[in-house]
Amino acid sequence: MPSTKAVDLAAHPLTAWQGPLGLPDFARIGDGDFSPVFDAALKAHEAEIEAISGNAETPTIENTLAALELAGEALDRVSSIFWCRAGAHTNEAIQALEREISPKMSRHFSAISMNERLFARIDDLYQRRKSLKLDAETLRVLEKTWKSFVRSGAKLDADGKKRLATINEELSSLGTNFGQNVLADERDWALFLDEADLAGLPDFLKSAMAEAAEMRGQKGRYAITLSRSIYEPFTTFSERRDLRETAYRAFTMRGQNGGATDNTEVVRDMLRLRAEKAKLLGYASFAALKLDDTMAKTPKAVHTLLDPVWEKALEKAASDQTQLQRLAAEAGSNEKFAAWDWRFYQEKLRAEKFAFDEAELKPYLQLDRVIDACFDVATRLFGITFEEKKGITAWHPDARVFVVKNADGSERGLFLADYFARPSKRSGAWMSALKSGYKLGDGASPVIYNIMNFAKPPASEAALLSVDEAKTLFHEFGHALHGMLTDVTWPSVSGTSVSRDFVELPSQLYEHWLTVPAVLEKHALHVDTGKPMPKALLDKMLATRTFGAGFATVEFTASALVDMAYHARSDAPEQPLRFEAETLEKLDMPDTIAMRHRTPHFGHVFSGDGYSAGYYSYMWSEVLDADAFAAFEETGDPFDPALAERLRKNIYAAGGSRDPEELYTAFRGKMPSPEAMMVKRGLV
């Protein structure tokens, strides 16, 4: 039975953060605490909204816009902890709560966005905006708030509002189900092997597989799991073609295995509801709705970027496949070249062309050293430093806590990081915030976190990363810096609160510093000898930066094009998986490469709608990041102080306080063309 005891939001550990460093006191938070606190926080927020909307005074920025931005602090706090737990350390109780809370939150925010009295006050300010003499950031927040209300149904009639609220609630529940189904498939599948099955596998992978097997109660054996940190190196190095095929099929069929965790109908229903939502709001398609507030603006603009890249990627992949088939034939394979052969023979081709393999690099990419490299680059570019605080309880014992300080020693905020894969964590890597940084009202310091899924080694061994994993760590830390360096007044434009196709710029740009020779020379130290990576190996690594570009670009761009195909039509396909296959066929997708994210496990697009009609944005931002790093290369100094300050001020600190094109132009002086990105990828 749920507790009927009244919740004191001013004292509860979920909403009154009284742990060390001003963090939540995670040791005092139980799974059973969330539901009653959510209920109390929702009621408190409703009361605040009622006070704003019912205010008899003439609307002002202070009594309406600022009051709205600062309302719901208790709800923000319990939500941030809950969604952190739901992604990073879930269980059956949390998942049941997720299914309960998702539609409840959707109903709550639908009611706010459709509150006629509240919108009337926002609309009053909006209509008078030119006479209010607002600073640029406040004007932008007012305009974005007004538009958000309109896009959320504020101008619909009563029936339209009711239907839209229902659609949003159903989409919220379906997104939760989608994510939980994928997690279940990833958690429940493992293939246990013995020593005789490990031909070709390097020691780092054997250690990770042994640890994964022990976590699943099979000590002394080795497990292939569906974590990318095990799946990808296994299909790269394993000489057992039959096992590579088994792993490939399991990985690509996540969410499409029939039974309770199958996502086929979930996707169908989500696409149908999204198309209906767009039509209700007056848009030609869901893509048109989603792109309305982005840099791209239209599906046509997205295709103007993606289509030429796709053609170049297909050409490169076809050329590469010819070479891979030659290697397979030389190795005595009589089998038709298949998707589970690509990574394996691509690694052989790398060794042939450059006389080294990925496994040579691993001993030089220790997790702790790569973390140090992330911090060191941030210090050299932006003057901030990081100090780890041991013994602080977070959501899981693996989570680490760092105090972030400005150059003058003052405290800037907190950074938390949780690096290792486990069955209770959804796959992938991401950044989020327990608390955003802003100056409005009493202000707040940012509390930012990164989640990774690296294979955890035995306690006696150092965690070693692949180059791709090291890039992922730099990527997510770039997002974290966007949150930590924020210097804005208004919460709604803080940190990563920018358009979807601009948000990946700070993260993808930061990846470039991983391969700056001065960074690798300092931090890429051998796990056993402590010696720096030899120059010959470093040169080989840098020479292979565009190796495999055809494969990588095809698997990514296929996902972006299928996402756009689903959402740029006015209706929804009755059979999404057939539509996926037909779309790929029209694109001449090679059957030897899979989409990076097939529909049934495409969490970016279907676990909520964060990247729906938006997966292209990684490549859109890549056009910007290639051009932005070229600015540093042009100076001859990857840490050029004047350029670093412009980067901090206009990209990392500005959040969504100004238009993204204006911000980028203030940093670089002009907008880029896609050419630098294609060169960076090795496609031209």
Residues with a known catalytic role: 476
DSSP string, 190-205: -EEE-GGG-TT--HHH
DSSP string, 4-68: -SPP-TTT-TTTS--SGGG---GGG--GGGHHHHHHHHHHHHHHHHHHHHT--SPP-IIIIIIHH
C-alpha dist (Å) from residue 154 to 69, 164, 486:
18, 10, 30
Q: Are strands 400-405 and 385-389 parallel, antiparallel or unpaired?
A: antiparallel
Contact status, residue 286 vs residue 278, Cβ threshold 8 Å: yes
Give 605's contacts (C-beta < 8 A, 6+ positions apart). Answer: 563, 566, 597, 611, 612, 614, 615
Q: Both tokens of residue 281?
A: 């709001």
3-state secondary structure 422-467: CCCCCCCCEEEEEECCECCCCCECCEEEEEEEECCCCCCCCCECCH
Q: Which helix (H) or strand (E) holds 419?
A: strand 411-420
Contact status, residue 182 vs residue 262, Cβ threshold 8 Å: no
C-alpha dist (Å) from residue 529 to 53, 522, 526:
66, 14, 5
User: Where do runs of H (alpha helix) occur along 331-394?
Assistant: 342-354, 358-361, 367-382
b/e code 518-549 from CB counts within 10 Å (16+ = b): ebbeebbbebeeeebbeeebbebbeebeebbb
Contact status, residue 671 vs residue 661, Cβ threshold 8 Å: yes
Task: Return d(Cα 674, Cα 307) in angstroms, integer.
Answer: 12
Task: Return d(Cα 664, Cα 681) in angstroms, integer.
Answer: 21
Contact status, residue 348 vs residue 337, Cβ threshold 8 Å: no
129 burial level (CB within 10 Å; 0-12, 13-18, 19+): middle
Cα of 441 vs its chain's centroid, Å = 30
User: Where do runs of H (alpha helix) occur along 71-196?
Assistant: 73-88, 92-113, 116-127, 136-151, 158-188
